[in-house]
Structure 1
């Protein structure tokens, strides 16, 4: 689990520069990384960059960073053709209930529209609690993960052990706390996979030593 949060992902050098300036002015520690090997930040500012550029902040600074960016967008006019203008109250609540999943520009204007429509903060809090409850239940593993895990177990165990441990113990972090990535059934399956992998690893090593 990373100690940094991906605040912004963009291909635009201008957007990156604006975000970095806002965070620097607000005194929020941050770093810039690229998704392409050989990323060179000195190339930024020469137009759009072909690789995604990421602005990362420590988890302890997420709220401050988001607040700084939202404040910078507060006076920006919402374009007439922006999707928020046709959003329902329920759609606005979904955005406000999980703000870290959305661009700060979207969040600040969703909050303004919600206030204009008279949507009460209590409704947002209830929706946020509902979203967090769903997240805390975890998700099922993808079929390919399970197949790869069991095949790896049969072929020697080590990779299967790692996949099993990942399914059983992986967690995701949110400002409200941590929760397991996968649901209870997947976590149990991951533990079985892990221990079966340990058993197969012992068997394979025994067979190699007795040859």
Structure 2
């Protein structure tokens, strides 16, 4: 059974409320949380310094993104002529489009419009290709993990709780792709190291406790 996972985080209430209303209008189930507790959907007694998260079912990620893009498209005529994207080069706009997950739907749509106005329109097919390439890029396992694994082994052999924490984190850590798919953060070989670190740390702790009990007798 699918679980709700974080779709996007917001720092301001107006942006959050806008998306909530869009989801409700299109019958997309969601969950709201802040960094302290489950979110009050009534927006009563809301505090403005928290990190607000909207969670969706993975199967609804693409649909929600498409709806937001459609809303943004209808707002392009209201753009301020001093908006910062007007100063972007063509290459910077293309990079923005290829990394849609890092930008707002409005910026994503405006970047396409600006390129079209400059005679460098990007087709829907090309945008889909860029999206697939981005998914492949984000799907790559975390690199430069040797120091992290080495640190895990050190703490594991020392018999510390930190070794268990590091081992478990390497084994279980996952990241969410823009399409809602959850994948392991670390490669299979790194997760095998995580398993060894976890087992060594647990064994070291058990041995340490056993010695203390024997010495106490």
Which TM-score band applies after superposition, normalised by the shorter structure?
0.7 to 0.9
CA distance in 2, matches of 1:176, 1:24: 19
Tell me the alpha carbon deviations over residues 39-78 of structure 1, each in whole angstroms, 9 at most, x when there is no partner.
Answer: 65545598x8232332222222112222222222212133
Cα contact 2:28–2:60 (8 A) shared by 1: yes
Per the alignment, residue 208 of structure 1 pairs with 212
> How does 1:119-130 map onto structure 2 within 5 Å?
119-130=122-133
Cα contact 1:9–1:53 (8 A) shared by 2: yes
Cα contact 2:159–2:208 (8 A) shared by 1: yes
Cα contact 1:33–1:55 (8 A) shared by 2: yes
Per the alignment, residue 54 of structure 1 pairs with 53
CA distance in 1, matches of 2:81, 2:145: 40
Per the alignment, residue 202 of structure 2 pairs with 198
Per the alignment, residue 164 of structure 1 pairs with 167
Deviation at 1:30, TM superposition (A): 1.8
* SS across alignment from 1:110: helix
* Count of aligned positions: 209
Unaligned runs of 5+ in 1: none
Deviation at 1:99, TM superposition (A): 2.4
Q: Measured at CA, do residues 139 and 49 of structure 1 come closer, stay the same or move farther in structure 2, by a change above 3 Å?
A: same
CA distance in 2, matches of 1:194, 1:114: 51
Tell me the alpha carbon deviations over residues 138-181 of structure 1, each in whole angstroms, 9 at most, x when there is no partner.
Answer: 22367985576345424435442332132144232322744431
Unaligned runs of 5+ in 2: none
Cα contact 2:4–2:30 (8 A) shared by 1: no
TM-score, reference length from structure 1 = 0.75
Per the alignment, residue 27 of structure 1 pairs with 27
Q: Measured at CA, do residues 192 and 81 of structure 1 come closer, stay the same or move farther in structure 2, by a change above 3 Å?
A: farther
Cα contact 2:6–2:53 (8 A) shared by 1: no
Deviation at 1:185, TM superposition (A): 6.6
Per the alignment, residue 5 of structure 2 pairs with 4
Cα contact 2:8–2:53 (8 A) shared by 1: yes
Per the alignment, residue 103 of structure 1 pairs with 104
* SS across alignment from 1:5: strand
Range moving further from structure 2, 60-69 or 171-180: 171-180
Tell me the alpha carbon deviations over residues 84-119 of structure 1, each in whole angstroms, 9 at most, x when there is no partner.
Answer: 222233333333334233222222323333444222
1:67 maps onto 2:70 in alignment: no
Q: Measured at CA, do residues 127 and 42 of structure 1 come closer, stay the same or move farther in structure 2, by a change above 3 Å?
A: closer
Cα contact 1:8–1:56 (8 A) shared by 2: no
CA distance in 2, matches of 1:64, 1:126: 18
1:84 maps onto 2:85 in alignment: yes
Deviation at 1:27, TM superposition (A): 1.5
Q: Measured at CA, do residues 158 and 3 of structure 1 come closer, stay the same or move farther in structure 2, by a change above 3 Å?
A: farther
